Amino acid sequence: MNKNNYALIMAGGVGSRFWPVSRTEYPKQFIDFFGVGKTLIQSTYERFLKICPAENIFIVTNEIYTNIIKEQLPDISDNQILAEPIMRNTAPCVSYGSTKIAQLNPDATIVVAPSDHTITDQEAFIAAIEQSLKAASENDCLITLGIKPSRPDTGYGYIQYTEDCLPTDDQIHKVKIFTEKPNLDLAKSFIQSGDFLWNAGIFIWSAKAINKSFSVHLPEMHEIFQQGSAAYNTDSESEFIGAAYQQCINISIDFGIMEKAQNVYVLPADFGWSDLGTWASIYDIAEHDYVGNAVIPAEKVMMFNSSNCMVNVPEDKLVILQGLHDYIVVESNNTLLICPRSEEQSIKQVVADVKSKFGTKYI
């Protein structure tokens, strides 16, 4: 295993679309959605153990989740947990992690990945990451993984690529343009063109290349984190980061770096990926009965004349559904949500309304 390979796992989101199961104090990355005995972050961590030495895997998260990380990943040292004092989107966390790792190993090659994605073809995923790590170590480039689309999905961002490739790898293509979530007609045209991929939000680069890109495209942020050179991997790191984040703008790595840099490449891949962004994505992956119901757990849920429902309830709860079709039924944290599957995009607004009426008790 290459000692220069590092992983930075992003685990700071709140997953509001999975409310009420996912809540601010215990969000989706720490939940076992499929009843397999592993939470999403535990599964992600185990994937990267096959790519990086254990001591080279770092978790960046909000400081309020530090104890959950220690509980779910007991082999992680305190120095491998990058605790953010406030939420500032993904660019600051990548700059923080990349600068810290570069202090440990200037020759590091880093994969940055969310903690809450699912991968069904583990071998294909590992092969794609290792191929990208090798290419990133040999070239001054920023690589992202693009998923070969299976449908004109309007919930994903898209990447258009050209025929130009890296000199050392003719499977990794130059990125032409990033496009945010399109409407259906545009998504259909993307699929038909054959040169668009879903943006998986998984990035691979050398520490040198990404820090150079920050110096060019987000120079103020780069300078903020460079000022802590003497503090990284010491007892002073937390105090420095507390002050640094107060100075950072709120911006994503996609908008701040990837959409601006000229040395961005993409590896088309297919490894059974889902970003688990909505209950629909859980429904798509979960096992279904003969009339399309996905029930987790299924022991005490009885369905009568009901079909195509997504049901997630406590395992000791007896639930009977009669005459319900195409609904989401979720209970957790003393809260019951019943919502048509076609209207699940309204859940974020529901959460906002609940917060407005009852405060943070149920959020």
| 131 phi/psi in degrees, rounded to 5 | -60, -45
Residues 183 and 105 in one domain: yes
Residues 243 and 299 in one domain: no
CATH code of the domain in which 212 resides: 3.90.550.10
Portion of the chain with pLDDT greater than 90, in percent:
79
Query: Mean pLDDT throughout 251-260?
Result: 95
Which of 59, 65, 144 shows the shortest CA–CA distance to 96? 59
Task: For residue 306, give both structure tokens.
Answer: 């009901």
Alpha-carbon gap, residue 85 to 229, rounded angstroms: 19
Q: Give domain status of residue 148, yes or no.
A: yes
Cβ-contact 284, 274 below 8 angstroms: yes
**What pLDDT digit, counting tens, does each position of 131-160 carry?**
999 999 999 999 999 999 888 888 889 999
Q: Give domain status of residue 363, yes or no.
A: no
Residue-by-residue DSSP string for 81-103: EEEESS---HHHHHHHHHHHHHH
What pLDDT shows up at residue 183? 85
Residues 288 and 261 in one domain: no
Residues 6+ positions from 195 with CB-CB distance below 8 Å: 160, 161, 162, 176
Residues 292 and 250 in one domain: no
Higher pLDDT, 207 or 296: 207
What pLDDT shows up at residue 34? 85
Residues 202 and 324 in one domain: no
Higher pLDDT, 186 or 291: 291
Alpha-carbon gap, residue 128 to 51, rounded angstroms: 11
The total of structural domains in the chain comes to: 2
* Reported confidence tier of residue 59, pLDDT bands at 50, 70, 90: very high
Residues 228 and 290 in one domain: no
Alpha-carbon gap, residue 170 to 162, rounded angstroms: 12
To the nearest whole number, what is the mean pLDDT of the chain?
Answer: 94
Residues 352 and 204 in one domain: no
What is the model's pTM?
0.93
Higher pLDDT, 266 or 181: 266
**What pLDDT digit, counting tens, does each position of 296-343 carry?**
887 899 999 999 999 999 989 999 999 999 999 999 989 999 999 999
Which of 33, 124, 119, 128 shows the shortest CA–CA distance to 332? 33
Last residue of a domain, one of 274, 309, 334: 274
E strands, the chain, are 5-10, 57-62, 81-84, 109-114, 118-119, 142-147, 158-166, 169-179, 196-206, 264-269, 273-274, 294-296, 301-304, 310-312, 319-322, 327-332, 335-340
Q: Give domain status of residue 246, yes or no.
A: yes
Residues 152 and 270 in one domain: yes
Q: Give domain status of residue 118, yes or no.
A: yes
Which residues on adjacent β-strands are paired with residue 303?
A: 321
Alpha-carbon gap, residue 221 to 262, rounded angstroms: 19
Residues 180 and 73 in one domain: yes
Residue-number span of the structural domain to which 85 is assigned: 5-274
Q: Give domain status of residue 179, yes or no.
A: yes
Judged on CB neighbours under 10 Å (0-12, 13-18, 19+), 98 is buried
Residues 258 and 283 in one domain: no
Residues 306 and 226 in one domain: no
Q: Give domain status of residue 340, yes or no.
A: yes
Last residue of a domain, one of 241, 274, 307: 274
Number of residues that this document lists for the chain: 363
Q: Give domain status of residue 187, yes or no.
A: yes
What pLDDT shows up at residue 143? 98
First-to-last alpha carbon distance for the chain, in angstroms, is: 42
Residues 329 and 306 in one domain: yes
Last residue of a domain, one of 274, 297, 316: 274
What pLDDT shows up at residue 172? 97
